[in-house]
Amino acid sequence: MKLITPDWPAPPTVRAFTTTRSGGVSSGAFASLNLGDHVGDAPAAVATNRARLCAQLDVPTEPCWLRQVHGCQIVTASAATRGSEADGALSREAGAVCVVLTADCLPLLLCDDQGTAVAAVHAGWRGLADGVIEAAVTALALPPERVLAWLGPAIGATAFEVGDEVRERFWREDAATSVAFVPSAASTITQRRWQADLFVLARRRLQRLGIEHIFGGGNCTFTQPEQFFSYRRDGMTGRLASGIWLTSV
């Protein structure tokens, strides 16, 4: 099983990961390490994949698997039940594993420089526009200068084409986000299209909150089919997992 370990200066009590699509038992469109139980894959295969992941990571408890709805709800991992409706989880307790599933949306991992709190956030363009990052940072209740952020694999700007309404949604709130949108070759006089950069949009949101320690970004799910699932590329596909938790040592 090939995992990605975030390259960031997190304290030793913080553990974090992002999966790739290799190392599982799923087949066909879900080959092979699909962690999503809502995409049409065989339930037994998903259960096996999740068990394999937990074994490899040697996690102390079952991860907090959420039912994500592109909203802004953030739950406490230790208090949530499997399938809780939320788009992020946080923890201040050792052993509670926060995790989000993605297949083009941006997984965002957060911690503080002293290893007292962690969070995992699912941030597609709707969540970014509605304030899911702001909700997670508010829930962490930490001084922004102490927060570290890592941006996991997501669809890159060259592959993520959106309509004018998406650009307008961000631009109306913050004109500086215009740098995250480049005119698409598919634009016409009557219908403007844009290539949107989720990484730039997320960094802008974090910086507006006073967070400057931002790492990761740039790994495109769409253009790396051997490594990553991509909903926009394939339609029916699996889900990657990005998680984070605190240890006692």
- 59 within some domain: yes
Q: Quick check: 112 and 146 in contact, CB under 8 A?
A: yes
- 180 within some domain: yes
Q: What is the distance between the alpha carbons of residues 58 and 35, in angstroms, rounded to a whole number?
A: 17
- 111 within some domain: yes
Q: What is the pLDDT along the chain (249 residues), one digit of tens a residue?
A: 999 999 999 999 999 999 999 999 999 999 999 999 999 999 999 999 999 999 999 998 999 999 999 999 999 999 988 889 999 999 999 999 999 999 999 999 999 999 999 999 999 999 999 999 999 999 999 999 999 999 999 999 999 999 999 999 999 999 999 999 999 987 777 789 999 999 999 999 999 999 999 999 989 999 999 999 999 999 999 999 999 999 987
Q: Quick check: 174 and 204 in contact, CB under 8 A?
A: yes
Same domain for 227 and 167: no
User: 168-174 long-range contacts, Cβ below 8 Å, gap at least 24?
Assistant: 169/129, 170/128, 170/129, 170/201, 173/129, 174/204, 174/208
Please report, for the domain that includes residue 63, its CATH number. 3.60.140.10
